[in-house]
Structure formats: structure tokens, C-alpha cells
Amino acid sequence: QKTSICYLSFPDSYSGGLGDTQFSFRLRQAGGPRSSPFQDDGRYNREAPLTLQREAAHYFGYVYFRQVKDSSMRRGYFQKSLVLVSRLPYVNLFQCLLQLIAPEYFDKLEPCLEAVCNEIDQWPPPVPGQTLNLPVMGVVIQVRIPSRVDKPGSSPVKQCNQENLLPAPLVLPSVHELDLFRCFQPVLIHIQMLWELMLLGEPMVVMAPSPTVSSEMVLALTSCLAPLRYCCDFRPYFTIHDSEFKEYTTRTQAPPNIVVGVTNPFFIKTLQHWPHVLRVGELRMSGELPKQVKVKKLAKLKTLDTKPGIYTSYKTFLHKDKTLIKRLLKGIQRKRPSEVQSALLRRHLLELTQSFIIPLEHYMASLMPLQRAITPWKNPPQIRPFCQEDFMKSLEHAGPQLTCVLKGDWLGLYRRFFKSPNFDGWFRQRHREMTQKLEALHLEAICEADIVAWMKDKSEVEIVDLVLKLREKLARARCQHLPVREETLQRVSLYIDTVIGSLPEDLQAVLHHP
């Protein structure tokens, strides 16, 4: 794993550029699950947006690479990377942190890192919904950690400073959001196609001139489904030394559901069989719309000097949104700031995703049993199965056409979505939440019931069985942090004591000390 991190921390193709560059990567954790050094009972992942959860099986690496001429070095260059490894996808926060630490580290080496680590050790844990003040090297970074209850698309809550921090803090507008407009500049007219490819979890290669462009483009692509979680694998930067290189380049099986960012021209040859290849040049911000890449046939992806383009035979299900392109063009002409253009783009993608997902949410909610069907002394009823055909019929009167002006083959898009890992991930998450809600409603029903009346005509065996079941329910509610009021849990606990108290002493002793 350390070797992999080393390979991923340097540009893997010749980079003539001198100076400092930053990029990121993501790698699979080797070996089995590892306990986190942080004491977290899962609260962070329950309260954070799905797209910002702490990953269990992958690490993110954030890199600051410096290359400068140095005649004292054998190769004539000073080349060094400082890498921060985390399970959190906080690309803005960690890249900002590296901008502060890395230049100092390259000058002062280890003692500088030791001092920085001592400061970071004192940082509070990230709590969704809270604004953190993080002191490091004489600067205070101020950033808000997003929460699952934030309204999607709302601008970050303005911070009200309780304490007047001196010096004034370095305020980050977002812990993770990229400059989408800058990332997508060369492909703006194809944003619809790229959104569909991400939604369907299609295998895609991003070929870029540098790890910076490669990693930014991959992260921008995977973020464009928010608030829907992108459930496939993605590698913002991937090299030929990676342990999965053989797995991805084999032609004996279909390419995996993954977006992979590469810079080495060698990949043009080895990944030719992938169905979608996006080739981009350097991302430069300029006063006019940069040249938009063209959609080209995969057969043209042959030579090393392959021109920028989207090499695919994919036909979109939905038509292009010309009004979005016009608004962005107008913004370029009016020299509108990039963050405003990014906000427009993000809002468009959010509305598109919501138009697609809301009918699914409505149908899923209709599968929930009625509250009156939940009775205290029977197991809660089951959630009805998801039937694709029933869902398709529901689209006639409650489809995306109600909230989205885009025309096209929405039904075909849903059919294809059902086969993707993103549908599977969304469905499992929703089903889990609904099951927990049912459990919570069942506990509430038990609290409202008259337990003494129920016990009157019951045998000891039935009563002991009830005690064991209630105990199990209580333990599960606490362990899974079900959405139940603490008062309800205490009442159930009291019920258990009441029931045990009604039994003969020998049984009471057994139940008190199982």
C-alpha cells in the first residue's frame, strides 16, 4: 500500500513543467477492514451527506508536488511530494492545508511536519452542521462541515463569529466543492451526456495532460449526481504501477463500472476497448468559451497524438439543454465570476438529478405499510417489493416531466438505470432507512399499548418470549441508532422491568441475570 501511495504521488508521464502542482488520488485499502483511530460510533456517517461519508474501504490521497531545477541533485531536479492520506473526501480543505504546509516542509523538513502534526492532533472531529476553526502554522482555517439536513443547492450558511478570531481566519466557502465551471469548460455542450454516463455508472477513462486535470475532471464528474451518491468506483489519478492495472486493462471481460483518470499515453493503447474515453487538454480560464471537444467514434482513438474529444458511440436518452449553454455563454461575455458560473451549473445538475430521482422517491414511499397496520404484539409488516413495471406506470401522472423541461426518452433512461450500481446503492440505502423507520414506529406502538391488559391471559412462556424480544429490539434500536426518542426507549425499558416483576421469583432471577 505504501508503494502504491508512492507511485500515485508523482506524475507518471514526463512532466516538463516546473514549479508546484496539486492533485488527488483514491486507492483501495489493502487487507481486511481496519478500525479507525478515531472514536466514532458511526455518528458522522449518519449525519453527513451521503456524498461526504467517511469511506470504509478506500483512502483518498491529496498531493503537493514540487519540481525545480537543482544542479546538486543527480537528475538535475529537486522532485518531492508531500501527501496527506484520509478517508474523508474534503478535497478543498486538505489541498488548502497542503498549500500552507508543503512549501514550509520543503524548506525545513521533518521538524516542520512534527509541529504541524501536533497542531492537527488538537483539532476537533468533523461534526456535520458545525463550523470548525482549525489552527495551523499561525493561520486559522474556518470551514463548515455540511450536514444531511442541509437543503440541497442552498448556499453555505453564513458564519456568525462568536469569538473575534485574530488574525482573521482563512474562510473556505466549501469543504469539498470544486470549481465545476473551470473543470467542465471544454465539455460544456456535452454536460447532458456526461451526466447520463455518470448516472448509469458507465465505465469511463479520462485522459488528461497532468494529474491535476485528470483528478479534477474525475472528481467533477462523480460530483455531478449530487445529492444522489455515485456508487461506482472512481480513481481520480491512476498509474501503470497500480495493483489493479491488470484488472482494468484485460480484454477478456467487460471493463468495470469505474471512472478512471490517467495521464500516461500508454493507456490510449491499453484502454482502447473501453466504451467511453474523454480526452482533455490543459484547463485554462480565459475570457471566451474554450474550444468545445467533439464526440468522435472510438475507432479514431488510435494514435498517441489523439486530439481532445469524447470517444464513444453512446446516444443520449435526453435532449440537450440549450438554455443552460446560452446562460453560461452570456456569463462569459459579461465576465461573470467563475464561482457564479459554477453555481449555475451545479443548480442545473441538481435540478436534473432531482427531477429524475423524485418519482423514484415517491414510488418507494408508496411501498411503506400504513401506520395503522403496525400493531404492538406482531412483528412489523414488510415493505412491499419494488416492481419496475408498476413504477413505470406511475410515471404517466407523476414523472420527471412535471419538474423538468427536458424532453427525451425518460423511460429508456430509467430502464437502463435499474441495471446500474447507482440504482442498487440508492435502493439499498432507502430500504434500510424505511426498515429502521418501521422498527421505530413499532417501538412507539408498543409504548402506547396496555401491557398489563395484554399479560392477563398469557402463559409464562409467552411472557418470557416477549421479554426476550423487547430486549432484542431495545438493543438493536440503540446499536443502530434508530430514529426513536430517548423517552420511548426508556419507557420500553420500564415495560420490560414491569413484565419481569409479574413473573415468579425463579424466572425473575434468570431474566435479571441471563
Split at pLDDT 50, 70, 90, the class of 17 is low
Q: Which of 382, 386, 378, 338 is nearest to 361 (CA)?
A: 386
The CB-side HSE value for 28 (13 A sphere, CA atoms) comes to: 12
Contact 45, 54 (CB under 8 A): yes
All cell numbers assigned to 278: 474523454
pLDDT 10s digits, 271-301: 888 999 999 988 766 566 777 888 888 777 7
Split at pLDDT 50, 70, 90, the class of 345 is very high
> CB within 8 A of 285, min separation 6: which ones?
182, 185, 338
Q: How far is CA 109 from CA 81, 112, 282, 306, in A?
A: 12, 6, 32, 41
Architecture of domain 179-423: 3-Layer(aba) Sandwich (3.40)
Which run of H or of E encompasses 183?
helix 180-184
pLDDT at residue 450, as a whole number: 81
> CB within 8 A of 397, min separation 6: which ones?
none
Residue 338 has pLDDT above 50, yes or no: yes
| pTM for this model (two decimals) | 0.90
pLDDT 10s digits, 132-177: 999 999 999 999 999 998 887 665 555 444 456 666 889 999 999 9
Q: Which residue has the cell 465545476?
A: 180
Q: Which of 54, 53, 24 is nearest to 38 (CA)?
A: 54
Instruction: Tell me the C-alpha distance between 204 and 198, whole Å.
Output: 9
The CB-side HSE value for 17 (13 A sphere, CA atoms) comes to: 15
Task: Tell me the average pLDDT of the chain.
Answer: 87
pLDDT at residue 162, as a whole number: 47
Helix (H, G, I), strand (E, B) or coil at 270: helix
The C-alpha torsion from 394 through 400 and 401 to 407, rounded to 10°, is -120
Which three-class secondary structure string do you get for 302-357?
Answer: CCCCCCCEEEECCCCCECCCHHHHHHHHHHHHCCCCHHHHHHHHHHHHHHHHHHHH
Instruction: Tell me the C-alpha distance between 405 and 400, whole Å.
Output: 9
Q: Which of 210, 175, 2 is nearest to 94 (CA)?
A: 175
> Domain extents for the chain?
1-177, 179-423, 450-513
pLDDT at residue 39, as a whole number: 55
